[in-house]
Structure 1
Amino acid sequence: MNTGLSPEITVLLMGCLVDLSTDKQTQINQYIQQQLIDWKRLDTLADRHRLKPFLYRTLLKIPNAPTAFVESLKQDCRITATDNLLKLQHYKEVSALLTEHAIEHIPLKGVYLAEHAYPDSSLRISGDIDLLVGKDDVFRTIRLLQNHAYHLSKKQDLHWQQGEQTILSDLYEVSLFKPFFNDSHFDIDLHWKIMGFNQHYALFDLPYVRSQPEFSTELMIVLLVTHHGVNNVWQQIYYINDLYFSLKGKDINWNWLLQELGRYGFEDVFLAGLYWCVQIWNLSLPATVQTLIGSSKIHSIAEDYAQSWESDKANEFSDLILLQLTRLAKAQTKPGRRLKTYGTFLSSRVFRYSLFRVGPRLIYLPKEVGFLTIFIRATQSLFRFLPARSTN
């Protein structure tokens, strides 16, 4: 695989396999033999990109892979498999609880994809349990979960004290946790809207997902591209795997999907993800879509996204915000859409609530005074941004 990326990232990409053919085994074995692999860095990157299960299953059959490294992966994968099973079982219990109380909901991302998209659920490392509910069921769901030993975080408990209307006005999700064993806990991210880029750019909710049952698969792809591609700039390789397994073997209405993503200016973000699905997984696409991802513009956008794969840590805070802006702006073909990208970015930084820490206390300021707090938030962002930059 000629990617122009480091040997460690290249090994990770080559290791994204379900079935290892003899030819592929020979190719990987020769590559490892010819390249100077930093195995410690490979372990760090495999962890960051949530690819240890794939890497272990692949390297297990590669003679030139260091035995100690493969054994370490084996131990990590055992822990991951157990964790996945616990989270899957817990999700089913939570889903049954919500169904029992007539709360319509749909699962998103990790746990759902592990069970329904991946060929083996142990291949998809899951984090939080993400659920989407209707706006009218938000507080009923929160109270129900609180009655079953879930707690809001300190920051969101502060929002809770401001009242229901403040939560609906300020937030689009809340995080709850349930202590499990020692310091471990189950986490639920409860969404009632999915934000695309920022709250003034695009918002998706349960009625949107349920609006056209004949395009239910395509609508879930829109949400996945929004979260993985737009909001998180494809910065982890498992995001690409999620896209691949969500598409593989599905009867996709490509014209409708591209048109729907185009409504929000997300089409090229999606095509960049597809580019890497082809590079990594050799995803079969219709000729018209294959032509689209073959353009020099999509190649350039896809390579921009891949630049962040080399970092030992995922981008966050100001770094991530800046990448969201630059990547989405570059993906726009219409001047009006690019103007909206910059315009909503600015407005979303001003008209929003703020939380400030004063000693041990958190202070809440409503978005109505956004103009007064923007300078403080800008200073906070600057202090987060500069140290990240200085280490590069």
Structure 2
Amino acid sequence: MKVDLSPEVTFLLMACSVELPAEKRDKITRFVSHQAVNWNRLYALAERHRLKPFLYHSLRQIGTVPDSFLAALKQDCQVTTTDNLLKLHQYHSVAMLLADNGIDHIPLKGIYLAEHVYPDSGLRISGDIDLLVRPTDVFATIDLLQKHQYHLSEKQDLQWRQGEERILSDLFEVSLFKPFFNDSQFDIDMHWQIMGFNQHYALFDLAYVQAQPAFEAERKIVLLATHHGVNNIWQQIYYINDLYFTLIKADVNWSWLLQELSRYGFTEVFLAGLYWCQQIWDLPLPPPVQELVASPSIRSLAETYAKHWETETPSEFSYLIVKQLTLLLKAQTSVGDQLKTCATFLSSRVFRYSIFRIGKRLIYVPKELGFITIFIRAIQSLFRFLPGRR
């Protein structure tokens, strides 16, 4: 790889391994001996990229690591394992509750991948419990969860009180939380549509995933590439690991998958993810796909994504929105797709609902009046770019 990565990020990429063969163990040992690794920065980046389990799994097999560093990783991994078990148990309780009430759903991202895709669920640090339900089941699901100690936040409760039609028009997900112990809680992100880039560009729902059972695995990969690559610009290394373990677990119809991604202009973003799957994990690919991944344009795009791995925190808010636009534009291969990207970006920034806090009160402005609030939102976004606001 030609991208200029720091010793700490390079170390993290080398540590991504399930089985550490002697050759790779020797390579890591030599790397530690010859590189000035900043252990504090390595620890912080391992947390930022959710790679502490992989780092501990690899480093405990070599003898040139500070004992205190290894001990801290071990403790963190024990916490992760316990946390994952609790979340998996809670998800299964919720899944049973939904099934008993005739509500169809599928789990998404972390909790699903940890249980069904990763070789050891403790290797995948999970955050929220993500569910995808049908739009027609949104309100029944929220009512059901509220009856079982889940709550909406103040902001989400305000949106909820706008009524069913407004909720389904303005939102694509809601977040609920359930207090657990002391200050801890279980968080559920309930989706009824998955947004691709923005709401005017592409939307995916449960019907999309289940439309063709023979291609359900491929459709889930489209959602993964959309969330991790398009919406979150591959900015955390665990996104690449998610893609790798998903691909090796599935019997992928590559021709169908690439054609489907092409429908949305997401092919190059996906191929950039494949590039890093190969660099980190030596992912085997069919010759036609390998030829695409090996092209200079895909390598350049992949290295652009990797530059975001060095920052202390992932990009959020206005920073992420600007980078989404910039990178998706770079990934387009036709003028038509570039125009669509720009047009939907502009329309989605104008016609959208807003919530403003005035004193202690939250004010809801519907998306039909979004053009009135665009200047306020623009100023807020610019304010985030000021020095010291990151």
Please state which band the TM-score falls in when normalised by the shorter chain. Answer: over 0.9
Stretches of structure 2 that go unaligned for 5 or more consecutive residues are none
The alignment's C-alpha RMSD in Å is 1.0
Counterpart secondary structure, 1:330: helix
Where does residue 304 of structure 1 map in the other structure? 304
Matches within 5 A, 1:52-91: 52-91=52-91
Where does residue 120 of structure 2 map in the other structure? 120
Counterpart secondary structure, 1:284: coil
Q: Structure 1, residues 7-33: CA drift from partner, whole Å, max 9, x if none?
A: 000010000000000111000000011
Where does residue 295 of structure 2 map in the other structure? 295
Where does residue 100 of structure 1 map in the other structure? 100
Q: Distance in 2 between matches of 1:120 and 1:28?
A: 22
Amino acid at match of 1:189: D
Give the fraction of aligned pairs with identical amino acids, expressed as a percent.
66
Counterpart secondary structure, 2:161: helix
Where does residue 187 of structure 2 map in the other structure? 187
Q: Structure 1, residues 205-247: CA drift from partner, whole Å, max 9, x if none?
A: 0111010100011000000000000000000000000000000
Preserved CA contact (<8 Å) 1:3 1:10: no
Q: Structure 1, residues 15-64: CA drift from partner, whole Å, max 9, x if none?
A: 00000001110000000110000000000000000000000010001111
Preserved CA contact (<8 Å) 2:193 2:204: yes
Where does residue 245 of structure 1 map in the other structure? 245
Q: Distance in 2 between matches of 1:262 and 1:20?
A: 36
Where does residue 129 of structure 1 map in the other structure? 129
Where does residue 143 of structure 1 map in the other structure? 143
Preserved CA contact (<8 Å) 2:117 2:249: no
Where does residue 232 of structure 1 map in the other structure? 232
Preserved CA contact (<8 Å) 1:351 1:367: yes
Q: Structure 1, residues 95-120: CA drift from partner, whole Å, max 9, x if none?
A: 00000001000000001000000000
Q: Distance in 2 between matches of 1:387 and 1:343?
A: 30
Preserved CA contact (<8 Å) 1:173 1:192: yes
Where does residue 27 of structure 2 map in the other structure? 27
After TM superposition, the score normalised by the length of structure 1 is 0.98
Amino acid at match of 2:167: I
Q: Structure 1, residues 314-367: CA drift from partner, whole Å, max 9, x if none?
A: 100110000100010100001111100000000000000011111121111111
Q: Distance in 2 between matches of 1:364 and 1:347?
A: 20
* 1:384 CA displacement: 1.4
After TM superposition, the score normalised by the length of structure 2 is 0.99
Where does residue 205 of structure 2 map in the other structure? 205
* 1:368 CA displacement: 1.0
Q: Distance in 1 between matches of 2:150 and 2:383?
A: 33
Where does residue 196 of structure 1 map in the other structure? 196
Matches within 5 A, 1:351-366: 351-366=351-366
Where does residue 156 of structure 1 map in the other structure? 156
Where does residue 317 of structure 2 map in the other structure? 317
Amino acid at match of 2:303: E
Amino acid at match of 2:26: T
Larger deviation: 260-269 or 156-165? 156-165
Stretches of structure 1 that go unaligned for 5 or more consecutive residues are none
Q: Distance in 1 between matches of 2:138 and 2:247?
A: 30
Give the paired residue count. Answer: 390
Preserved CA contact (<8 Å) 2:3 2:303: no
The list of structure 1 runs, each at least 4 consecutive aligned residues, that deviate by more than 6 angstroms after superposition, is none
Amino acid at match of 1:325: L
Preserved CA contact (<8 Å) 1:317 1:385: no
Counterpart secondary structure, 2:322: helix
* 1:153 CA displacement: 1.1
Q: Distance in 1 between matches of 2:248 and 2:310?
A: 27
Counterpart secondary structure, 1:386: coil
Q: Distance in 1 between matches of 2:68 and 2:3?
A: 28
Preserved CA contact (<8 Å) 2:87 2:186: yes
Q: Closer, same or farther in 2 for the Cα pair 1:183/1:87, shift >3 Å?
A: same
Q: Distance in 2 between matches of 1:75 and 1:3?
A: 33
Q: Distance in 1 between matches of 2:200 and 2:97?
A: 33
Q: Distance in 2 between matches of 1:276 and 1:166?
A: 41
Q: Distance in 2 between matches of 1:128 and 1:56?
A: 23
